[in-house]
């Protein structure tokens, strides 16, 4: 059967290849579609990822699949997605079913780290890792993985903010890629006043949710801070460590900033002295990072996506701007809209 295979340490080794059909025990899935993101691009460029066996790895961590035969509590035809990160088997977080908080780093991740992904026709999955997709959500279920990342981030922000009396009224989302846009929609669903900012001149998708869109080419974020008097929550979803550091200065009293973008470039970034040494302390501000998602975030993600689809059906359909077959993976990797997917089965 066909699969999208790469050699993680070897740049541009990604190719469609023939791989053996799975024979292990579990739920047999036929993969319908996989979303691609910056992680897939980075693995493909040789910057990230760990092989699953030998030197190779099947890509794909944002899955939508259909159950092929009855068993393990699932029925043929059920739509499902699957978690990405799996237990390291030797830390208390993983033991408690929270590999998203793994303390060793020895976890595996589908399509990223030591475990083959979903960009292949058939996969056998552990039933405990499957997340049912509501039938009404249909192909939009392919957005479950990035949505689970945003759900976790917001859940953690609410926990951190809620350590003291706090009201989340006004949020800023920096970045208009999949994570930024999905965060915008989740916060709008919760009735939060949202500003979404990115370099693009405009974003119909952001405004369709009722968020206010800010082009940072016209209005620098520091100016927005002055105009609005700051934000209770900042979600920073851009691959730029300087922008991440700046988010501490965009908060108002008791504000929480969450970092979701990735920027591994070796560099020094600067932070305003009084923002760190004065405001962060006198105003009880927090800056934190979040990765991956707990099973509860996956369940919340599919429920939220379904509610978002009911409220903004056309906008949700517009999230996936490019759907191509497996052999056109290079186009999907190069896509700069919100989300591109690889279609394995219509
Ligand atoms: Zn991804
Ligand atoms: Zn662990």
- Compute the average pLDDT of residues 108-116: 97
In terms of residue numbers, what domain contains 158?
A: 148-289
Handedness of CA 46, 334, 195, 314 (dihedral sign): negative
Ligand nearest to the CA of 182: 1
Whether residue 207 is found in the same domain as residue 336: no
Ligand nearest to the CA of 38: 1
Whether residue 128 is found in the same domain as residue 154: no
| 36 C-alpha to ligand 1 centroid (Å) | 6
Which residue is it, tokens 């190779």?
A: 56
- Compute the average pLDDT of residues 222-247: 96
| 98 C-alpha to ligand 2 centroid (Å) | 8
Ligand nearest to the CA of 101: 2
Query: For residue 300, is it within any domain?
Result: no
Query: Please, are residues 285 and 190 in contact by the beta-carbon 8 Å criterion?
Result: no
Query: For residue 189, is it within any domain?
Result: yes
| The pLDDT of residue 230 is above 90 | yes
Query: Please, are residues 251 and 257 in contact by the beta-carbon 8 Å criterion?
Result: yes
Whether residue 220 is found in the same domain as residue 274: yes
Query: For residue 137, is it within any domain?
Result: no
| 227 C-alpha to ligand 1 centroid (Å) | 34
The phi, psi pair for 34, rounded to 5°, reads -130, 135
Tell me the CA distances in angstroms from 41 to 58, 112, 334, one per residue in order.
Answer: 13, 11, 8
Helices 144-161 and 295-311, axial angle in degrees (round to 10): 110
**Of 279, 302, 314, nearest to 142 (Cα)?**
302
37-61 b/e (C-beta count within 10 Å ≥ 16 → b): bebbbbbbbbebbebbeeebbbbbb
- pLDDT tens-place string over residues 302-339: 999 999 999 999 999 999 999 999 999 999 999 999 99
Whether residue 107 is found in the same domain as residue 232: no
Whether residue 113 is found in the same domain as residue 170: no
Q: What is the CATH number of the domain that holds 65?
A: 3.90.180.10
| 144 C-alpha to ligand 1 centroid (Å) | 10
| 85 C-alpha to ligand 2 centroid (Å) | 10
Whether residue 282 is found in the same domain as residue 319: no
- Compute the average pLDDT of residues 206-226: 96
Confidence of residue 38 (pLDDT cuts 50, 70, 90): very high
Whether residue 280 is found in the same domain as residue 164: yes
What is the 3 state secondary structure string of 29-73?
A: EEEEEEEECHHHHHHHCCCCCECCECCEEECCCEEEEEECCCECC
Give strand ranges (E) for the chain: 2-6, 15-18, 27-36, 57-58, 62-67, 79-82, 85-86, 108-110, 114-115, 122-125, 130-132, 170-174, 193-198, 212-215, 231-236, 251-259, 286-289, 320-325, 339-343
User: Mean pLDDT in the chain?
Assistant: 97
| 34 C-alpha to ligand 1 centroid (Å) | 10
Ligand nearest to the CA of 102: 2
Whether residue 284 is found in the same domain as residue 333: no
| 41 C-alpha to ligand 1 centroid (Å) | 10
Whether residue 193 is found in the same domain as residue 164: yes
Confidence of residue 68 (pLDDT cuts 50, 70, 90): very high
| 188 C-alpha to ligand 2 centroid (Å) | 33
- Compute the average pLDDT of residues 221-241: 96
- Compute the average pLDDT of residues 93-109: 98
Ligand nearest to the CA of 95: 2
- Compute the average pLDDT of residues 107-136: 97
Ligand nearest to the CA of 61: 1
| The pLDDT of residue 53 is above 90 | no
- Compute the average pLDDT of residues 79-108: 98
Q: Which DSSP string do the residues of 282-337 spell out, in sequence order?
A: HTT-EEEE--S--HHHHHHHHHHHHHHHHHSHHHHHTTEEEEEEGGGHHHHHH--S
- Cα separation, 11 vs 44, in Å, equals 6
Ligand nearest to the CA of 93: 2
**Of 194, 169, 162, nearest to 180 (Cα)?**
194
| 226 C-alpha to ligand 2 centroid (Å) | 42
- Cα separation, 161 vs 182, in Å, equals 21
Instruction: Domain count for the chain, please give it.
Output: 2
SS3 for 181? helix
| The pLDDT of residue 191 is above 90 | yes
Whether residue 166 is found in the same domain as residue 271: yes
Whether residue 15 is found in the same domain as residue 126: yes
Q: Most distant CA pair in the chain: distance in Å?
A: 61
Which residue is it, tokens 């760190």?
A: 276
Q: What is the CATH number of the domain that holds 236?
A: 3.40.50.720
Ligand nearest to the CA of 118: 1
Confidence of residue 3 (pLDDT cuts 50, 70, 90): very high
- pLDDT tens-place string over residues 239-268: 999 999 999 999 999 999 999 999 999 999
pLDDT of the residue at 18: 96
Query: For residue 298, is it within any domain?
Result: no
- Cα separation, 56 vs 246, in Å, equals 39
- Cα separation, 48 vs 33, in Å, equals 22
Whether residue 255 is found in the same domain as residue 319: no
């Amino acid at each position: 059967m066909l699969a999208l295979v790469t050699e993680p340490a070897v740049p541009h080794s990604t190719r469609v290849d023939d791989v053996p059909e799975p024979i292990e025990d579990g739920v047999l899935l036929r993969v319908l579609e996989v979303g691609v993101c910056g992680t897939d691009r980075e693995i493909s460029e040789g910057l990230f990822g760990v092989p699953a066996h030998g030197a190779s790895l099947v890509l794909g961590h944002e899955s939508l699949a259909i159950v092929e035969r009855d068993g393990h509590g699932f029925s043929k035809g059920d739509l499902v997605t699957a978690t990405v990160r799996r237990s390291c088997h030797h830390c208390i977080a993983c033991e408690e079913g929270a590999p998203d908080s793994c303390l060793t780093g020895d976890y595996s991740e589908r399509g990223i780290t030591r475990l083959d992904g979903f960009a292949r026709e058939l996969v056998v999955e552990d039933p405990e890792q499957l997340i049912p997709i509501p039938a009404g959500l249909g192909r939009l279920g392919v957005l479950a993985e990035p949505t689970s990342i945003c759900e976790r981030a917001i859940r953690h922000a609410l926990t951190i903010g809620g350590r003291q009396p706090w009201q989340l009224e006004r949020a800023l989302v920096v970045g208009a890629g999949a994570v930024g846009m999905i965060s915008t929609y989740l916060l709008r669903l919760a009735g939060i006043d949202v500003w979404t900012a990115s370099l693009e001149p405009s974003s119909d998708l952001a405004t369709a949710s009722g968020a206010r869109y800010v082009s940072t080419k016209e209005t620098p974020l520091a100016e927005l801070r002055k105009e609005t008097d700051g934000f209770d929550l900042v979600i920073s979803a851009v691959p730029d460590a300087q922008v991440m550091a700046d988010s501490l200065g965009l908060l108002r009293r008791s504000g929480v900033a969450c970092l979701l973008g990735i920027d591994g470039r070796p560099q020094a970034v600067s932070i305003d002295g009084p923002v760190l040494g004065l405001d962060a302390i006198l105003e009880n501000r927090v800056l934190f990072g979040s990765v991956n998602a707990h099973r509860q975030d996956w369940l919340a993600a599919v429920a939220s996506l379904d509610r978002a689809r009911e409220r903004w059906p056309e906008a949700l359909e517009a999230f996936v701007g490019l759907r191509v077959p497996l052999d056109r993976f290079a186009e999907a990797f190069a896509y700069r809209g919100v989300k591109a997917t690889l279609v394995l089965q219509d």
